[in-house]
Amino acid sequence: MPLPKVLVVEDNPANMELVYDLLTVAGYHVLTATTAERAIKLASTVKPDLVLMDIGLPGMDGLEATRRLKRNPTTAAIPIVCLTAHAMHGDEARARRAGCDGYLTKPLDARSLADDVAEFIVGIEHTNDDHD
């Protein structure tokens, strides 16, 4: 089986390095983008199994990028888990309205990130199975 592909969209180099290392060690093929524009291009060509989408990005933010990915038939089925540093009331609802399938709050828990990602991928595969 090929390694599951995860596209990580994150503009903070330290966070990117942490997520990249944790997911690579856990056996994922990690692709990276530091802007929403690049993420949208990569997602439609690479078709990752999951996108981890930072909300706060320079230029187009992660919520708008999520809306665009979910609107495009080529990328609509790719699960998107939003990452945000703003643990503010209403943020989860906003992320879900934009089309995020899941939500993780930063600072990320290094001990559970790989398991969290695996759960999102498995959960979504099971959901899809119901419709096959």
Q: Which residues bind Mn ion (CB under 5 A)?
A: 11, 54, 56
Give 24's contacts (C-beta < 8 A, 6+ positions apart).
Answer: 30
Q: Which is nearer to Mn ion, 49 or 54 (CB)?
A: 54
Least distance from C-beta 54 to Mn ion, angstroms?
Answer: 4
Closer residue to Mn ion (CB): 53 or 124: 53
The nearest distance, CB 125 to Mn ion, in angstroms, is 28
Q: What is the nearest approach in angstroms of Mn ion to the Cβ of residue 120?
A: 20
List all residues 6 or more positions away from 120 whose beta carbon is below 8 Å from its beta carbon. 50, 79, 81, 101, 102
Least distance (Å) from Mn ion to the CB of residue 128?
30
Give the nearer residue to Mn ion in terms of CB position, either 68 or 124. 68
Query: CB under 8 Å to 71, separation ≥6 — which residues?
Result: none
Q: Please identify, using beta-carbon distances, which residue of 54 and 101 lies nearer to Mn ion.
A: 54
Give 111-114's long-range contacts (Cβ < 8 A, gap of 24+). 113/19, 113/22, 113/23, 114/22, 114/23, 114/25, 114/26, 114/28
Find residue 8's DSSP bridge partners.
32, 52
